[in-house]
Amino acid sequence: MPPPGVLVNATLCIDTVEVPGVGRVDGVLGGAAAYFTAAARRYGPVRVLAAVGSDYPHDLWQKLQTLGGDLAGVARRPGRTFRWRGRYQPDLQNRDTLVVDFDPAVEAMPPLPPGWEASAYVCLGVNAPANQLRLRDSLPNTRLAVLDTIDLYVNQHRDDLLRAIAAADGVVINDWEAARLTGHDDPAAAARRLLDLGVAFAVVKQGAAGSHLATPNDVWHCPACRVDRLVDPTGAGDSFLGAMLGHLAAHHASLHDPAALRHAVAHGTAAASFTIEAFSLDRWYHLTDAEHADRLATLLTDAGLA
């Protein structure tokens, strides 16, 4: 019997973020694995496969533990933890990466702890496509594997990325990446074209414009949540994917169930809307069940899923 919940392989970072008109934070908890865990943990167990350096601060480790994921798969290695510094442009839709500091020896994918190879729901998080393929090959019992990527791999490792996408069941990426992969600037057309790469479903995220879910029979648009104040967009896509996959795992959903996929996209959209309301993971530490339920109910109505 596969263990419940989800497995995520992604980065853990130390972030410095600048947002015009809002402020700056230095040395905060970051990385796709952290944001994914915060959102997915609301639905069930989360197993984190990642690595940090020997310099990883104790206070960040404590915050990571607070998110509730199983950290048995997090390797601590000699060297420096991945550090990222970014500054958002005034429109808050685009950002400039100012510093990327990582040690390839530290970031090498850790081995799976015993029993984790039986994981049924898996996030092939942002990583070199060759690593994503290797992880997928080591998980023979996976029921649903979803892949995420970034522009670096779209631009510089395209052939490997296409092979990794074909090995996955679904892909969840932003509109810029989808356009570069498919040649279609229209997100609905890009989402449909992504299916030709070998996946059963594709989600193209558009931030404040919502997202498009493509399945073999149609393309469905999910609106974004209404948010009073956008503080920091960092990690929104990772929390989207965490809630989406967490919801699917909690309901033992099949990748061939369009209704379940639509509801999962809505849950991901709600999760992303909480992330952007504060720096780092700060909003998740204080999020109540009532707040989550109220926002999700509003979105399900707006999306025609209530």
- Chain segment 243-300, per-residue pLDDT in tens: 999 999 999 998 889 999 999 999 999 999 999 999 999 999 999 999 999 999 999 9
Are 150 and 174 spatial neighbours (Cβ–Cβ below 8 Å)?
A: no
CA angle 137/138/142 to nearest 5° reads: 85
Are 49 and 110 spatial neighbours (Cβ–Cβ below 8 Å)?
A: yes
The pLDDT of residue 24: 96
Neighbours of 189 (CB within 10 A): 18
Q: Cα separation of 24 and 58, whole Å?
A: 21
The pLDDT of residue 23: 94
Distances 50 to 37, 92, 127, 174, 264 between C-alpha atoms, Å? 12, 28, 10, 23, 25
Closest Cα to residue 222, out of 254, 187, 252, 195? 187
- DSSP 8-state class, residue 251: T
Closest Cα to residue 270, out of 301, 259, 24? 301
Q: Rounded to 5 degrees, what are φ and ψ at 50?
A: -160, -175
Torsion of CA 45, 46, 47, 48, to 10 degrees: -160
The pLDDT of residue 1: 59
- Buried-exposed string 118-153: b where 16+ CB fall within 10 A, e elsewhere: ebbbbbbbbbbbebbbebbeebeebbbbbbbbeeeb
β-bridge pairing 70-77 and 13-19? unpaired
The pLDDT of residue 2: 67
Residues of the chain short of pLDDT 70, as ranges, are 1-3
In this prediction the pTM is: 0.96
